Amino acid sequence: MQHRTKAALAALATAAVALALTGCSAGSSAGASSEGKAISSERCQQNKDAGKITYLSGYQYQSSASILEYIAADELGYFKDLCLDVQLKPGSGDTAQNTKLLASGQATVSAVAEQDLIQARANGIDITGISSYSNAGLDVLMTNGDITDLKQLDGQVVGHKGYVPAAVEAMMVKAGVDWDSLKLVKEGYDPSVLPRKQNGLEALTGFVSNEPNLLKAAGDDVTVWQPVDYDIPASLGAMAVNPAFAKAHPTAVEDVLRAALHAYDFCSSSDAKVKQCVGYAAKLSGATYDTAQNAKIWTTETKVVADNPTPGQPLGGVDPANVTKLVDMLHEFDIVDDSVTSDDASKWFTNEYVDAVYDGGKLVWPAP
């Protein structure tokens, strides 16, 4: 989740320093007395044998799906309930770095989009995808109100944050935009450049849960174009694991997901619970954490998940058909080599850990 605004970067800089991978981690507020209360003694010992499990977030302690529920699972004592020793670490927003830390064993589980995992594996980085909340992604294109058809962008100025995400490019091409006619410019992290039409800007890439909410709060009306509406593949809230750890400690991987999914339900159950969970993230991040904006991030992302459930899967299940579509898209835009096949990619993801925590489509809590 790389929702990086100038305000967010400044607000979370202190947390990034204080809670870097080589520094201290967040700790649970739950008492030691809760240890093992939601698990059998045999399984508890198996999870204890796994030792310390390092969770690495996608971007700091932003209240995104794949981040906030892990913070909440720690604070609410769910990890302790399952005899898991989980250490929270804030990611920098550099997905490539997260994949390398996972592969090296410096992180155990981390938020990694399905597309990014395929790219990592294509480059020889050994990680395994174990969960995803939706085939809808967070990348979007925003336009000013006078754009009612994406083809109107032909010849116009389109802003981005370093590159146009593949899903956004695929959406525009599918909508009939003359890609070669666009004037692509790198913009900063201030979305107000769009309504001000700075440098003739008519469109700007962003994240569905971030910039649109910031602009709405400022009274600016923009149109948000989502790739999922054009049947473009992506993922939301996807998680990956170090494969050697997963092979050695399968119950621990299952129960990390179990605790996170249990916390996801808790944090999504009411406005009061949203506020409570965002408060946990604010406590880790410091006084400058924007709780109102982060609450909007969480509610927006969980609504995207609810509106776009993964076909044929419970919450957290990976859709094999989506993996195939992602490979095709990555080939189309020359992001991965054609030698990487959908059969290859299908082996880089597994639903065995998610399947193990459900019974008849219902999350099993307490654990067996």
Q: Over the stretch 178-206, which tens digit does the pLDDT of each residue have? A: 999 999 999 988 999 999 999 999 999 99
Residue 342: its pLDDT value, please?
A: 97
Distance CA(264)–CA(353), nearest Å, equals 17
320 close to 118: Cβ distance less than 8 angstroms: no
Residue 33: its pLDDT value, please?
A: 52
Distance CA(353)–CA(368), nearest Å, equals 14
Using 50, 70 and 90 to split pLDDT, how confident is the model at 20?
A: very low
Residue 188: its pLDDT value, please?
A: 86
**DSSP track, 21-34:** TTS--B---S-GGG
Please give the torsion angle defined by the CA atoms of residues 6, 61, 279 and 209, in that order, rounded to the nearest 10 degrees: 60
Contacts of 270 (CB under 8 A, 6+ apart): none
Is pLDDT above 60 for 6?
Answer: no
Contacts 24+ apart (CB under 8 A), 24-28: 25/54, 25/87, 25/88, 25/89, 26/61, 26/71, 26/74, 26/87, 26/88, 26/284, 27/74, 28/74, 28/75, 28/77, 28/79, 28/80
Q: Which residue has the higher pLDDT, 83 or 199?
A: 83
Side-chain-facing half-sphere of 218: CA atoms under 13 Å: 16
Q: Which residue has the higher pLDDT, 364 or 20?
A: 364
Q: Could you report how far apart the first and last alpha carbons of the chain are, in Å?
A: 32
Q: Over the stretch 217-261, which tens digit does the pLDDT of each residue have? A: 999 999 999 999 999 999 999 999 999 999 999 999 999 999 999
Nearest Cα to Cα of residue 251 among 64, 46, 86: 46
Is pLDDT above 90 for 23?
Answer: no
Is pLDDT above 50 for 25?
Answer: no
Domain ranges of the chain: 6-136+235-363, 139-230
Give the residue carrying structure tokens 């971007």. 59
Quote the Cα angle for 135-138-139, to 5°: 110
Give the distance from CA 217 to its chain's centroid. 23
Distance CA(1)–CA(237), nearest Å, equals 8
Give the residue carrying structure tokens 């929270």. 88
Residue 157: its pLDDT value, please?
A: 97
Residue 8: its pLDDT value, please?
A: 40
Task: Report CA-CA distances (Å) from 358 to 249, 336, 361.
Answer: 18, 34, 6
Distance CA(323)–CA(48), nearest Å, equals 33
Mention the CATH class of domain 139-230: alpha beta
Residue 347: its pLDDT value, please?
A: 98
DSSP 308: S
Residue 245: its pLDDT value, please?
A: 98
Contacts of 87 (CB under 8 A, 6+ apart): 25, 26, 52, 53, 54, 55
pLDDT, mean over the chain: 92
Residue 275: its pLDDT value, please?
A: 98
Is pLDDT above 70 for 65?
Answer: yes
Distance CA(237)–CA(112), nearest Å, equals 8
Q: Considering the entire predicted model, what is its pTM?
A: 0.90
Say which CATH architecture domain 6-136+235-363 belongs to: 3-Layer(aba) Sandwich (3.40)
